[in-house]
């Protein structure tokens, strides 16, 4: 294969991918192409089709229609070769708790059909990258949830795959574990393409350069993080006042739609997107003596973005 062809080849290419369970389509005509390393966020509400898409890409599920290519390999025509290029971390790490870390990672390498002469070095490298070398001989059942997650990540990258698929990789981790695992995901994205499914918007913002959103079994958005941020416009104002007016008075401000008192002096005011509403609130407070102490714009909820993009896609 020529160098030029290699450079132009997609790491992941999905063409007209569809799948149905019984009479119901879970996904329909999914098309996606990823050409660079880095972390790509996969978003969608529950039942949107994210897990079905990930399972098909990773060879866990056979699609009803369409094609998936990994480094140019059709996963249906050459499933074994394609799977050698994929690392997969499901939502629940697929670890065998009665094995030691070394035993499990060696087994994971054998499952990837790695050359026996390279397995020991690959295990050591994966342990070092995931910072679990000091647990080599420990039974996985005796590890904390955070370190079990690291073992799960280590099995996904032990064979240095082109594509790493992660489903909610930080779910259930404490704040310290969260920071370390996010750092690890970012490092993996330097060498591989990482397709990351998460419900945590802060995580997507911190880690991802691009966002793909699936809703109702179809892709409704696929673009850069900057483009996605344009949809996360402020939709409410959170403010504290020493002498707040009644909800009716606040709702009478131009652009306001609803006032919700959280405490006696703290209120959330929803508005129609007109960013000048903060100036109107400040002016009204000075005029009527509300004694405004704090005011902050709040970004729209992810569910609102789903709804907005879904409406535009139909």
pLDDT digits (tens, 9 = 90+) for 55-107: 999 999 999 999 999 999 999 999 999 999 999 999 888 899 999 999 999 99
- Please count the CA atoms within 13 angstroms of the CA of 276 that sit on its side-chain side: 2
The domain defined by 234-313 folds into Alpha-Beta Plaits (3.30.70)
pLDDT digits (tens, 9 = 90+) for 9-68: 789 999 999 999 988 999 999 999 999 899 999 988 888 899 999 999 999 999 999 999
Angle at 95 between CA 159 and CA 120, to 5 degrees: 40
Q: Are 285 and 265 in contact (CB under 8 A)?
A: no
Tokens of 52: 């079905």
Angle at 232 between CA 229 and CA 234, to 5 degrees: 130
Task: Find the mean pLDDT for residues 136-152.
Answer: 95
Residue spans of the domains in the chain: they are 3-229, 234-313
**At the fourth CATH level, which superfamily is domain 3-229?**
P-loop containing nucleotide triphosphate hydrolases (3.40.50.300)
């Amino acid at each position: 294969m020529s160098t030029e062809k290699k450079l132009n080849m997609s790491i992941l290419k999905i063409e007209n991918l569809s799948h149905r369970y019984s009479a119901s389509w879970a996904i329909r005509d999914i098309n996606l192409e990823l050409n660079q390393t880095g972390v790509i966020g996969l978003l969608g509400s529950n039942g949107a089709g994210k897990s079905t898409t990930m399972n098909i890409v990773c060879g866990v599920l056979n699609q009803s229609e369409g094609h998936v290519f990994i480094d140019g390999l059709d996963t249906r025509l050459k499933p074994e070769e394609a799977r050698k290029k994929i690392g997969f971390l499901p939502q629940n790490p697929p670890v065998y708790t009665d094995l030691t870390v070394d035993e499990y990672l060696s087994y994971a390498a054998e499952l990837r059909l790695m050359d026996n002469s390279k397995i020991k070095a690959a295990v050591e490298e994966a342990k070092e990258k995931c910072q679990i070398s000091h647990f080599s001989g420990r039974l996985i059942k005796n590890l904390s949830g955070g370190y079990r997650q690291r073992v799960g990540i280590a099995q996904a990258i032990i064979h240095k795959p082109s594509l790493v698929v992660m489903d909610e990789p930080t779910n259930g981790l404490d704040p310290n574990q969260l920071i370390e695992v996010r750092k690890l995901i970012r490092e993996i994205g330097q060498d591989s393409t990482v397709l990351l499914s998460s419900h945590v918007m802060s995580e997507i913002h911190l880690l991802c350069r691009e966002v793909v959103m699936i809703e109702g079994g179809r892709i409704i958005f696929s673009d850069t993080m900057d483009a996605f941020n344009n949809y996360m416009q402020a939709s409410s104002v959170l403010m504290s006042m020493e002498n707040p007016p009644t909800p009716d008075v606040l709702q009478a401000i131009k652009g306001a739609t609803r006032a919700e008192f959280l405490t006696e002096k703290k209120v959330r005011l929803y508005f129609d997107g007109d960013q000048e509403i903060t100036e109107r609130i400040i002016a009204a407070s000075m005029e009527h003596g509300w004694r405004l102490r704090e005011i902050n714009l709040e970004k729209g909820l992810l569910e609102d973005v789903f709804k907005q993009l879904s409406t535009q896609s139909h």
